[in-house]
Structure 1
Amino acid sequence: MNHAKSKHDDRHAMIRQRAAVLLGCTALAASPMTLRAQDQGDSAGTTVLEPVTVETSGIGASDADSIVAFGNSGGGKLATDFLDTAASVSVITAKEIQQRDARTVEQVLDYTAGVTTDFYGSDDRFDYYKIRGFDAYTYRDGLPLGAPFGGVREEPYAFERVEVLKGADSTIFGVSDPGGTVNFVSKTPRDERFGEAYITGGSYNHAEVGFDFGDNITEDDTLSYRLTGKFQNSDAEYDYSNDDESFIMGGLTWRIDDATTMTLIYDYLDSDGTPGSGGHPIGSDFDRSFFLGEPDYNYNDVTRNTVTWMFDHDFGSGLTFSSRARYSNSETGFGYAYVYEPVDNGDTIADRYYFGNAQSYDDFVIDAHFQYDTSFANIESRTLAGLQYETYSGTNDSYWAAAPGIDWTNPVYSGGPDYSGPYASTKSDQNTTSVYLQQELTFSEKLIASVGLRNDWLDLKQLDQLTDTTTSGDYSEFTGRAGLTYRITDEVSTYASYAQSVAPPTLGIDPERGEQYEVGVKYAPLAFPALFSASVYDLTKTNITVTNPATNMQESIGEARVRGIDLEAKAELMNNISLTAAYSYMMSEIVENGSGGNVGNELSFVPNNVASLWVDYELEGEGRRGDMTFGLGARYQSSYYFGEDNLIKSDPNITFDAAFSYDVAEHTTLQVNATNLFNEKYVAYGGYGADWYNQGRAVYVTLRQSW
């Protein structure tokens, strides 16, 4: 993509004029966007591009003002206009997150095509979501966080946007599952004064305060700061629960000169919650608040410290250097009693078990890459080459024991467990070194060819602290990606791509690999801010290892395939209406199974049809009445199986969400949000020992002051 003033730059300028929204989404967060003008030298030879600095606030400003994004950050690598990207990408901006009052990552992703969420219902330990039928990996500013299952529940208020890249993409981000990746883009300082503060109250004794503000420290705008915080005291929807959180994040950006920017961010997350309701007997219909766990053994605690460093330098003549690094340490632990009553014994006593876990880790990861932009004849070229290194060390202890049964007609609690010790205790060390290359060629501003190559070397070691035995392994994994995009007009493009993925291996088991074929079309009209996309894909995963929820043991199902369609629209229309619409069709199939069973069955937690629609209507103020915005959303998913045996499935369901905001005064807004407005109730996961209901109705009221 030529960084000279191109047709898509004109399109962005026209949208700014017509809709008064800030775009510039292809800028890297934490640094000003630099556009390059073509030298008027010898057109027959190679032309280097001279830097021309353009004032813009980058991703931060546009994402706060619009639900429509026209580009992605590339995970801190090749930032690209969506019309030029040979992949299906969705962006949930800060404005959309605020409008829907999305309080968890699952809620952030609820209205995204190809994504399914909340399939474990009232199990609150982790974020649960899949992309295109397979697990997704998470990243922050392009650096790996890992799988959401077993990880830390991220705080959405920390992020400027959430980017969802669908399908296999290890070439871009590194080892990951083939379903796709979720990249969180951190809030960073801006070169202007801005801010907000809010208070929230609502369901389950919820009380919350938050703030996000920043300014320039020096008069010449070379040094800026940003401070973001959220403090929450709350219960969950079931008895004997709590959902407390303290989050604080501070950042400094130093614009060393016109070509060099450095940002340092520190954030601290401390959550004090509970793991879940403990489940309910199969086939029962209790209130969601009914608790069959143990009040004295019911905790889910997280403490994490993170330091992130970002550095960008423009050498001129089309050559730039960027680096991202992050250090984090975390201590997490949960313990609870859960119902396990797979057989109807004809009594009212629910069998139960205790389960506990304690983890700690230290992780450091750094990525550095050079990018060279140039042009020759009618070809524009972008080349990116980089190196990534990660070192991880952590411990993991798991505990399990039988718990006394409980009479669900008259529950009497018996206290916590007396473990003799962990049933599993491991210490893991992992070093990963990666090299990657991405090349993009644009021919006559119409045809865009892209290719990516990456190799990851993994050095794994695990100590079983119960047996004092060590297992180790070295892996070298190569992945590739290729795509073609054709710009039919300034508003329409079509693409085809092939991509590979490889998941982090488990010692003693071959790494899980994936590959995807995809074709699609995208439309970004000039008349108003909007992006419409449609894609068809064929995604295959091999060497699959899954954990059977009935036995908690790993099983191999060999090879599985998902073929589907994703349709998505985000638009801000002229008549004060904005909308987000998504539809996905997914047909999954177990192609091979190492144990011989379940071949031909569908994968668990993969509904065939998922659809959502969110519409906002703004009624402009008149006289003393301020602006009012009315929002209504609906989410539908067809039934899905709870296990690969395809014996038990959920019911199809539809839930509604709503929002209302009123401008009480200038820069002061009162906002009301409701999730699951009509309190629709269904079993999100069940049939193998207990039923776990979906999340019930929750209503929150927020008063926000901005400046």
Structure 2
Amino acid sequence: MLKPKQSQCAAATLFCYSIMAPSIGHAENEEETFRLSPIIVNDQVLADDDTESVVAKELWVGGKVATSILDTPASVSVITEKEIQQRNASTTEEVLEYTPGTVTGYYSTDDRNDYFQIRGFDATTYRDGLTLGSLRGVREDAYAFERVEVIRGANSTLFGPADPGGSINFVSKQPKFDEFGNAYISYGSNDHKEVGIDVGNTLNEDETLAYRLTGKVKDSDREYDYSKDDSQFIMGGLSWEPNNDTKANLIVDYLNTDSTPNSGGYPFDKEYDRSTFFGEPDFNYHDVERTNISAQISHDLDNGFKVRSSLRYSDLTDNYGYTYISDSATRTGSTVSRGYLASAKDAQQFNGNLIGQYDISVDRLDSSSVFGIEYQDSSSTSLSSYGSATSIDVENIIYTGAPSSMIIYENKKTDYATKAVFLQQNFSLDDKYILTLGARHDDIKLSESDYLNNTESKNNFSENTFRSAFTYKFNEEVSAYISQVESISPPTAGTEIVRGEQLEIGAKYSPNDMNALFSIAVYDLVKNNVDIAVAQNDGTIDREIIGENRVKGVDLEVKAELTDSLSITGGYSYMDSKVVEDDSYEGNQINIAPNHTASLWSHYILPRQDVTVGFGARYIGTYYFDAANTKKSNAAVIFDASLSYEITKDTNLSAKVSNLLDKQHIVGSGTADYYNPGRNITVTLNHSW
């Protein structure tokens, strides 16, 4: 069987795109290759090897966007597998810490979820181009992915119902048609013990079938008393390539976590030690069990036509219970009120798409049409309860145990279904002027059965979104663009659809004499019908709707391998946020939206070649914790570092320290304060073969 050459890139995921497809009528003339490089798709080749570079040049998001980042009319960041390994990032928050325009971990000690926002708003998460939807609350394990892609700004035309902050796509590790293996063992702070393995090879003599097996086990505490953070993850994949035109993948993965959430936080009156626990050791649990079954297939037909499809079924259980403190700024004395909260959730989700693409070239004009249908059907049940807990004396902590009974305040079933058709049309003239147009229609059905009140509600939405962009390529190294995109998402409160609109102007520079990518983007982003949580004086949390929020800002990013020994990743973001339409909050800044953030990570191989050092700094400016702008954070700089020693060519010993100076500050506040994570040291022994 003919295989793509390694220089053309090894076979990998379903959504890997080449910029090398020949123009119709000029297949034998390299100088006459199809000029619309940003949209060409060849599912058999992979341009980036993410284990070898921190600088990605292409996107893999489902064939709906330009494959070349330089020519993509959007602000994009890609965190490659090499960068993830350099920083030893194990959660989504850690992966995104050095990404411009992104604020992470603003409820850090509330460990139930990964917390992140892009450009002041929530972002929608995807896996291999398909939305995670009702599963988005699960803390993803970075060991499962070979890259994470971030597209800033609203874009429902490409991805369907989505939050306006942006899109985060996790790209799963795929089978390779080469034998490889990697295993590691690590130990770190909080008695953190972890082992992992990632192996793969071909399964038959003609090399048309390959497998990959990835797994890890973690046994750990967290930095507060009476905690745990245990998990098991395993993922198996099969890839079949009978020829250069056809590919099929099957991936099954299982995630199980047994942890404690510490969602109660810390009292307001002073700064407490992170190890102090104000909950109840006998009532502090978070158990998650999730299974995914994913299938992908692609086929390249004759005459410039390609077709591909992706399907996924997911099953989830997510149960937690904890004791929270409900403090008040006006409290006197050392006694703080507390309450119990518990939730049990089951969710099943099926989603998939069928995408076609047709490419044609006529004289100086190239055309690429991407069209398709998408479907999602999810169902979830949730049972939530609360109870009054005994107050706690913060100066003399005495635990009283788990609740004997609780009051159910929510018992409901939610069904969510979407059907969509979409079309994207790209025209390129002389590989210099690129016009992008897109349209999408979504039919959304949202129904809820309230078993507690014996009521049912149904909402149907029929929404259109549009996208337009123009890219000008000055030369092979520099491009500039202007784009307009829209987003829609169903309401979490009320009955009005949530809409976002963004206008963006940007430029990118990828020098020929250096492996680097520089980018800048200026944007104006608006979100209507904003649902927010508001902590009340009595400790309860209510939902409110804000008419319109607006963020104007600038994002800058550099990813560069300056020499064979030195690489850097850096970014800066400025956000000017404001509530522009609301009776209560008009004129206020949006919460969790700092005016300034900046980061820089550098990685250097010493001249002796067997020792590598890494150093990073993250600056987070001040931001408000609430819509009323009554409480504000302090600006902070967090330093991270790493050190690696190559014992042999295939074996190395590394150490990573996050929050090197053990800086402590408040990152979130509601009925309690929440602190950023403390210093964490992890030592890892890694062996490859």
Q: With the length of structure 2 as denominator, give the TM-score of the two structures.
A: 0.94
Query: Is 1:579 aligned with 2:562?
Result: no
Match of 2:615 among 611, 614, 632: 632
Partner amino acid, structure 1, of 2:555: D
Q: Is the 8 A contact 1:138 1:147 kept in 2?
A: no
Q: Is the 8 A contact 2:154 2:166 kept in 1?
A: yes
Instruction: Provide the C-alpha distance between the structure 2 equivalents of 1:544 and 1:304, rounded to a whole number of angstroms.
Output: 30
Query: Is 1:141 aligned with 2:128?
Result: yes
Query: Is 1:58 aligned with 2:46?
Result: yes
Which stretch has the larger CA shift, 423-432 or 226-235? 423-432
Shift in Å, 1:421: 3.8
SS in 2 for 1:63: coil
Shift in Å, 1:28: 5.0
Shift in Å, 1:691: 1.3
Instruction: Give 1:529-678 correspondences, 5 Å limit.
Output: 529-550=515-536, 551-574=540-563, 576-593=565-582, 596-621=583-608, 627-678=610-661
Offset from partner CA, 1:318-373 (integer Å, 9 cap, x none): 11001010000000011100111114442211111111111101100011110111
Query: Is 1:36 aligned with 2:21?
Result: yes
SS in 1 for 2:22: strand
Instruction: Provide the C-alpha distance between the structure 2 equivalents of 1:445 and 1:178, rounded to a whole number of angstroms.
Output: 31
Shift in Å, 1:26: 12
Q: Quote the residue 2:179 is aligned against.
A: 193
Shift in Å, 1:147: 7.3
Shift in Å, 1:48: 11
Query: Is 1:404 aligned with 2:395?
Result: no
Instruction: Give 1:682-693 correspondences, 5 Å limit.
Output: 682-686=665-669, 688-693=670-675
Return closer, same or farther for 1:702/1:420 CA change in 2, 3 Å cut-off: closer
Return closer, same or farther for 1:680/1:23 CA change in 2, 3 Å cut-off: farther
Offset from partner CA, 1:124-180 (integer Å, 9 cap, x none): 1101000001010100011011378x7111111111100000001111111011110
Instruction: Provide the C-alpha distance between the structure 1 equivalents of 2:171 and 2:249, rounded to a whole number of angstroms.
Output: 13
Instruction: Provide the C-alpha distance between the structure 1 equivalents of 2:14 and 2:567, rounded to a whole number of angstroms.
Output: 25
Q: Is the 8 A contact 1:280 1:690 kept in 2?
A: yes
Return closer, same or farther for 1:210/1:705 CA change in 2, 3 Å cut-off: same
Return closer, same or farther for 1:394/1:42 CA change in 2, 3 Å cut-off: closer
Q: Which runs of 5+ in 1 are unaligned?
A: 1-12, 17-21
Q: Is the 8 A contact 2:42 2:300 kept in 1?
A: no
Instruction: Provide the C-alpha distance between the structure 2 equivalents of 1:34 and 1:591, rounded to a whole number of angstroms.
Output: 43
Partner amino acid, structure 2, of 1:641: Y
Shift in Å, 1:584: 0.1
Instruction: Give 1:357-396 correspondences, 5 Å limit.
Output: 357-396=343-382
SS in 1 for 2:301: strand
Match of 1:702 among 680, 684, 688: 684
Offset from partner CA, 1:482-530 (integer Å, 9 cap, x none): 1011110110000000000011234742011010000011000111110
Q: Is the 8 A contact 2:387 2:407 kept in 1?
A: no
Q: CA RMSD in A?
A: 2.3
Offset from partner CA, 1:12-57 (integer Å, 9 cap, x none): x9xx9xxxxx7859985477858422344799xxx9989x999986
How many equivalent pairs are there?
675
Return closer, same or farther for 1:549/1:343 CA change in 2, 3 Å cut-off: closer
Q: Which runs of 5+ in 2 are unaligned?
A: none
Which stretch has the larger CA shift, 69-78 or 433-442? 69-78
Return closer, same or farther for 1:27/1:205 CA change in 2, 3 Å cut-off: closer
Q: Quote the residue 1:82 is aligned against.
A: 69
Return closer, same or farther for 1:31/1:91 CA change in 2, 3 Å cut-off: closer
Instruction: Give 1:149-548 correspondences, 5 Å limit.
Output: 151-276=137-262, 278-506=264-492, 508-548=494-534
Q: Is the 8 A contact 1:543 1:556 kept in 2?
A: yes
Instruction: Provide the C-alpha distance between the structure 2 equivalents of 1:54 and 1:280, rounded to a whole number of angstroms.
Output: 53
Q: Is the 8 A contact 1:659 1:671 kept in 2?
A: yes
Q: Is the 8 A contact 1:121 1:683 kept in 2?
A: no
Instruction: Provide the C-alpha distance between the structure 1 equivalents of 2:75 and 2:34, rounded to a whole number of angstroms.
Output: 30
Instruction: Provide the C-alpha distance between the structure 1 equivalents of 2:222 and 2:206, rounded to a whole number of angstroms.
Output: 47
Q: Is the 8 A contact 2:34 2:366 kept in 1?
A: no
Q: Is the 8 A contact 2:184 2:197 kept in 1?
A: yes
Partner amino acid, structure 2, of 1:124: D
Return closer, same or farther for 1:97/1:435 CA change in 2, 3 Å cut-off: same
Instruction: Provide the C-alpha distance between the structure 1 equivalents of 2:358 and 2:451, rounded to a whole number of angstroms.
Output: 48
Partner amino acid, structure 1, of 2:87: R
SS in 2 for 1:80: coil
Instruction: Provide the C-alpha distance between the structure 1 equivalents of 2:235 and 2:456, rounded to a whole number of angstroms.
Output: 38
Return closer, same or farther for 1:484/1:152 CA change in 2, 3 Å cut-off: same
Match of 1:126 among 113, 125, 135: 113
Return closer, same or farther for 1:476/1:140 CA change in 2, 3 Å cut-off: same
Q: Is the 8 A contact 2:189 2:682 kept in 1?
A: yes
SS in 2 for 1:97: helix
SS in 1 for 2:143: helix
Instruction: Provide the C-alpha distance between the structure 1 equivalents of 2:417 and 2:154, rounded to a whole number of angstroms.
Output: 23
Q: Is the 8 A contact 2:548 2:581 kept in 1?
A: yes
Instruction: Provide the C-alpha distance between the structure 2 equivalents of 1:548 and 1:256, rounded to a whole number of angstroms.
Output: 56
Q: With the length of structure 1 as denominator, give the TM-score of the two structures.
A: 0.92
SS in 1 for 2:49: helix
Shift in Å, 1:574: 1.9
Instruction: Provide the C-alpha distance between the structure 2 equivalents of 1:501 and 1:53, rounded to a whole number of angstroms.
Output: 25
SS in 2 for 1:36: coil
Instruction: Provide the C-alpha distance between the structure 2 equivalents of 1:574 and 1:56, rounded to a whole number of angstroms.
Output: 31
Q: Is the 8 A contact 1:230 1:247 kept in 2?
A: yes
Instruction: Provide the C-alpha distance between the structure 2 equivalents of 1:281 and 1:55, rounded to a whole number of angstroms.
Output: 54
Partner amino acid, structure 1, of 2:114: D
Q: Quote the residue 2:98 is aligned against.
A: 111
